[in-house]
């Protein structure tokens, strides 16, 4: 009886790691597009079966947009399933992952020129575009490989994409963000679009027990 708990605990396998890389959030259905930005995150899993692990993830990235403003801050977190490949299973191994979570997006305020004329020759004025937020469901999916260079430490590479669903907020929805030109009535900036697809590639270090 004294030995059994010790044996059982030795069979519990888990992993935890951190990574960083690059992501491109591709905006669709709006007035602009997205660019490449940095991304960093952490994740961890506990084994349910020999090749199946369940855990969570947290990531943050900066998402440039061509609306003239600063990059958006995107924070994503949720649960994910990691399924190991039966081959290879040595120091080099591979897996696929699928997650479900939530993403919070924030765009800081900035200044830009906006049209304020009601007819005739175009008239522009400097305006403060208010900060705005949005949110959506986040579905990360992809594949990864790991190389165990010094047990239990390993180097990892993951490539995949975040898929967005159920977009809510002024960054995504009409009439868009509020802009306040000096001496004129409030204007609205058309949404750049929804970041429905965000391919990424990240390198990391993981502790795999």
- Regarding beta strands 177-181 and 187-189, do their DSSP bridges make them parallel or antiparallel, or are they unpaired? antiparallel
The residue-averaged pLDDT of 91-108 equals 96
Confidence of residue 119 (pLDDT cuts 50, 70, 90): low
Q: What is the pLDDT of residue 2?
A: 44
Q: Which of 3-17, 95-109, 119-133 has the lowest mean pLDDT?
A: 3-17
Task: Give which of 138, 141, 155 is closest to 199, Cα–Cα.
Answer: 141
Q: What is the pLDDT of residue 45?
A: 98
Beta bridge partners of 167: none
Which domains does the chain show, CATH number per domain? Answer: 19-107+131-174+193-208 (2.40.160.20)
The token duo for 33 is 């597009």
The residue-averaged pLDDT of 144-148 equals 97
Q: Compute the distance between CA of residue 183 and CA of residue 173 in angstroms, rounded to an integer.
A: 26
Does 51 score more than 60 pLDDT? Answer: yes
Name the average pLDDT for the chain. 90
Read off the DSSP letter of residue 71: P
Q: Compute the distance between CA of residue 183 and CA of residue 179 in angstroms, rounded to an integer.
A: 12
Could you report the per-residue pLDDT of 11-50, keeping only the tens digit for each? Answer: 789 999 999 999 999 888 776 678 899 999 999 999 999 9
Helix spans in the chain (H): 3-10
Q: Which of 12-26, 57-71, 93-107 has the lowest mean pLDDT?
A: 57-71
Q: What is the pLDDT of residue 115?
A: 84
């Amino acid at each position: 009886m004294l030995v059994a708990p010790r044996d059982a605990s030795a069979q519990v396998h888990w992993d935890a790691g951190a990574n960083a890389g690059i992501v491109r959030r591709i905006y669709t259905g709006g007035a602009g597009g997205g660019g490449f930005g940095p991304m960093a995150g952490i994740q961890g899993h506990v084994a349910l079966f020999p090749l199946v692990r369940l855990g969570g993830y947290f990531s943050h990235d900066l998402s440039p947009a061509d609306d003239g403003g600063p990059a958006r801050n995107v924070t994503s977190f949720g649960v994910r399933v990691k399924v190991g490949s039966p081959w290879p299973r040595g120091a080099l191994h591979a897996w696929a992952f699928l997650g479900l979570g939530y993403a919070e997006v924030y765009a800081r305020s900035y200044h830009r020129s906006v049209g304020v004329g009601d007819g005739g020759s175009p008239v522009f004025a400097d305006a403060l575009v208010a900060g705005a937020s949005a949110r959506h469901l986040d579905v990360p999916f992809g594949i990864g490989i790991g190389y165990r260079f010094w047990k239990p430490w390993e180097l990892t590479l993951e490539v995949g994409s975040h898929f967005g669903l159920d977009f809510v907020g002024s960054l995504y929805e009409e009439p868009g963000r509020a802009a306040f030109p000096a001496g004129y009535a409030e204007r609205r900036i058309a949404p750049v679009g929804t970041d429905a697809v965000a391919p990424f590639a990240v390198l990391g270090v993981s502790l795999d027990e």
